[in-house]
A and B are shown apart, each in its own frame.
Chain A
Amino acid sequence: MSSSEQSKSLHLLGSSHHIADLAVRERISLPQNKIDEFYGGLSALPGLDECLLLNTCNRTEIYGASKNGFSTNLLHEYLSNFQKIDPVFLSKHSYQHSGEKVVRHLFEVTAGIDSQMVGETEILGQVKKAYEDACQRNVSGKMLNRLFQKGFQAAKWARTNTGISKGQVNLGNVLCELARRIFGKVSNSRLLVVGAGEVAESAIEAFKSRGSQAITVTGRTFEWCPLSRRKPSELAEKFGGFALSFSKYHESLHHFDVILTSTASTRSLISENEVKRAMKRRPAKPLFLIDASVPRNIDEAVANIDNVFLYNMDDVSAIANENLKSRMAEVERCRNVLSKKAVRIWDQMTLHTLPSSSVNQSTASNS
């Protein structure tokens, strides 16, 4: 047993949909173009040996590993300064964990039981991506490597051995059900996706599986989407859809029945006037808009236009969770088992020496 491993601890500072509404999350969430700068300052914090940032629509979490003496308050102070948020405001809308509680929390996150849509699987992909990113930046070390590898295993166990993933909680399926209530047959509705992230892919997959042929993808950065790190045209090609130039899609809004935005843009992409213009060209046909972005990409005022139905992530999640009330008993069982697993893993992490071979960073993409 190594004394240095024994004395290490885990830290977590986070804010999620449990404690912060959409407007607050927009303030705390880190823009994609500031991630490099954020990591630069974070890894330089005194006493912090390892760090990892999980930045999704519904949560912003900073995981850290350090020798004894590091306080989670330092993470709080750093985030507050970086995002220029009042520390009291941040305290009110964030949580801090350390030690075994960090393990338990991560297990619940990866398993999807801490998600807004309980049991959803997208979060696992997002955690894997965040971990991969930290590995590439060489800011994740033995402690966090082991923690996240165990987190991925816990997620797999939960989905295989409990009923938390039964039923339709997937964002794409929920969107398809809403589209059915508006247009009847989903296969007849024309879908435009702005962005090429995981949410976009999930929606396209669900529409495609229901026979939709008219799927169009466009992206702010048409050559490369920062969320998915691929071209929108690749996503369109994967599902047999069409790629549309970002400069042209504003003029073509009236051609589409369902429009989903899922980008990391910090400004509004679809304004009220643009939707009004589009509706004048299709007055009696309803328009279904889904804003899956944080910060929001569609002007909220469009919801006041007749025949326009605007949903954001919170709305879609609320519907999914409403459908999933019956799962809650299963969630509780899952939480209990994961809690026991977390205690066991934490004991192993603190009482035994970590074999370096088990935490090879290259396994991140295979996990």
Chain B
Amino acid sequence: MNFNEARDLLWTASILYVFAVSFGFASTYFSKNNFCKQATLFAIVLGFFFQTRGLYLRGLEISGCPLGNNLERIQFITWSLILTFLILRLLWKLNLLGSLCSGMAGLFGIISLANVRWDHRYWTEDSYQRLFSDPWIELHASIAIFSYGIFALLAIVSGMYLIQRKSLLSKKSGIWGTFLPAINDLDHSAFRLLLVGTLFLTLSIVVGGMHWVHHPEFVTTIKLFITLLLWAGYCILFFLRYSNRLFGSKFFKTAISLFIVAMMSMGFVNSKNRHSSLPTSSLKAHDEQ
């Protein structure tokens, strides 16, 4: 393995996340085994370290925030997911949440790395201009992707809620029901995650909007439409939950659905292909700025 190669590091991180989820489930089934609990956290932290370095090297390579292709976007979202989990873990010791987060990060990481077409080397093309020459746009993109990471965690918490609820309604004491947090705690956690995620997404839209008013030609209509639609979706979800009009299983199912929509719309919110649709003079003018 080459520690100076971004893809190698990202592969290592994904495999470590898979190890983490394996150790996590082992510790769930054999709860007295303290080694498995420690190994889970260790693997997550080590995986996070490798993933951070991998994204850092890729950022250096492309001279910008690595969000130019599907692999980079997925890796950035899973990185945000793990970061949020590690911050939350300082507050609550949620071992099973860590296992599920690392499971999601490992699975999506491997899928994105295995699909070579998702990692096309756009920065080596002749027509490539530095994607985010404006630091405000880099800030906008990184905050937006970080909010996606929080929404990924919200989707996981929602899944945990639905599993615990189903276990309670089935009136059986399955292994999941015993080890998952209480639905009341999950409800509180989900509300806080939704609040924080919506705030970050709002902030990213404000930052992006500041750039958009000066250079509307760099943002496609579909990107604008989907971004605002998604933002409005999370805002409405937050206010419905805040006013107790949407709660329980319906709230959590909506949170998962919104996250799936967010993931499916990732390809549309990329504006790097602007060069092909814009006149060369316009691009030159932008670069000169």
Contact of B181 among A178, A184, A285, A318 (CB under 8 A): A184
Which residues of chain B come closer than 8 Å to A283, judged between CB atoms? 244, 247
Contact of A180 among B172, B182, B250 (CB under 8 A): B182
Q: Which of the four size classes fits the interface of chain A?
A: 20 to 34
Indicate if A309 sits at the interface (CB-CB under 8 A): yes
**Chain A, 297-334, contact with B by CB distance < 8 Å: what is the 0/1 string?**
00000000011010100010011001100000000000
Q: How many angstroms from the CA of A319 to the CA of B169 in the assembled complex?
A: 12
Which residues of chain A come closer than 8 Å to B248, judged between CB atoms? 284, 306-307
The answer to whether A307 touches B182, judged by C-beta atoms less than 8 angstroms apart, is: no
Which residues of chain B come closer than 8 Å to A184, judged between CB atoms? 181-182, 184-185
Q: Which residue of B lies closest to A322 (CB)?
A: B173
The answer to whether B182 touches A181, judged by C-beta atoms less than 8 angstroms apart, is: yes
The answer to whether A182 touches B171, judged by C-beta atoms less than 8 angstroms apart, is: no
A306-B172 in contact given A183-B182, A284-B187 (Cβ < 8 Å): no
The answer to whether A318 touches B168, judged by C-beta atoms less than 8 angstroms apart, is: no
Query: Do most interface residues of chain A lie in helix, strand or loop, or is the interface mixed?
Result: helix
Indicate if A286 sits at the interface (CB-CB under 8 A): yes
Contacting residues of chain B (73-102) with chain A, CB-CB under 8 angstroms: none
Which residues of chain B come closer than 8 Å to A315, judged between CB atoms? 171
Q: How many angstroms from the CA of A177 to the CA of B172 in the assembled complex?
A: 12
Q: How many angstroms from the CA of A182 to the CA of B185 in the assembled complex?
A: 8
Q: Interface size on B (CB < 8 Å)?
A: 22
Which residues of chain A come closer than 8 Å to B172, judged between CB atoms? 318-319, 322
**Chain B, 165-207, contact with A by CB distance < 8 Å: what is the 0/1 string?**
0011101110001101111110100000000000000000000
Which residues of chain B come closer than 8 Å to A322, judged between CB atoms? 172-173
Min Cβ gap A159→B in Å is 24
Min Cβ gap A143→B in Å is 42
Contacting residues of chain A (227-282) with chain B, CB-CB under 8 angstroms: none
Q: How many angstroms from the CA of A322 to the CA of B167 in the assembled complex?
A: 14
**Chain A, 154-184, contact with B by CB distance < 8 Å: what is the 0/1 string?**
0000000000000000000000011011111
Q: How many angstroms from the CA of A284 to the CA of B251 in the assembled complex?
A: 10
The answer to whether A309 touches B168, judged by C-beta atoms less than 8 angstroms apart, is: yes
Indicate if B220 sits at the interface (CB-CB under 8 A): no
Q: How many angstroms from the CA of A319 to the CA of B174 in the assembled complex?
A: 9
The answer to whether A306 touches B249, judged by C-beta atoms less than 8 angstroms apart, is: yes
Of B172, B182, B248, the most chain A CB neighbours within 10 A belong to B182
The answer to whether A285 touches B184, judged by C-beta atoms less than 8 angstroms apart, is: yes
Indicate if B227 sits at the interface (CB-CB under 8 A): no
Q: How many angstroms from the CA of A183 to the CA of B186 in the assembled complex?
A: 10
Q: Which residue of B lies closest to A323 (CB)?
A: B173
The answer to whether B171 touches A183, judged by C-beta atoms less than 8 angstroms apart, is: no
Indicate if B51 sits at the interface (CB-CB under 8 A): no
Contacting residues of chain A (176-216) with chain B, CB-CB under 8 angstroms: 177-178, 180-184
Q: Which residue of A lies closest to B188 (CB)?
A: A184
The answer to whether B171 touches A319, judged by C-beta atoms less than 8 angstroms apart, is: yes
Contact of B247 among A180, A181, A307, A311 (CB under 8 A): A307
Indicate if B164 sits at the interface (CB-CB under 8 A): yes
Contacting residues of chain A (312-367) with chain B, CB-CB under 8 angstroms: 315, 318-319, 322-323
The answer to whether B171 touches A181, judged by C-beta atoms less than 8 angstroms apart, is: no
Q: How many angstroms from the CA of A180 to the CA of B167 in the assembled complex?
A: 13
Which residues of chain A come closer than 8 Å to B241, judged between CB atoms? 284
Min Cβ gap B167→A in Å is 8
Q: How many angstroms from the CA of A319 to the CA of B171 in the assembled complex?
A: 7
Of A181, A285, A286, the most chain B CB neighbours within 10 A belong to A181
A319-B173 in contact given A178-B168, A181-B182, A183-B184 (Cβ < 8 Å): yes
The answer to whether A286 touches B171, judged by C-beta atoms less than 8 angstroms apart, is: no
Which residues of chain B come closer than 8 Å to A182, judged between CB atoms? 168, 182-184
Those 9 A-B pairs whose CB atoms lie nearest each other, nearest first? A184-B182, A284-B247, A315-B171, A283-B244, A306-B248, A184-B185, A307-B248, A183-B184, A319-B173
Report which B residues bind A (CB closer than 8 A).
Answer: 164, 167-169, 171-173, 177-178, 180-185, 187, 241, 244, 247-250
Q: List 9 A-B contacts (CB under 8 A).
A: A181-B167, A181-B183, A183-B184, A184-B181, A284-B187, A309-B168, A318-B171, A319-B172, A323-B173
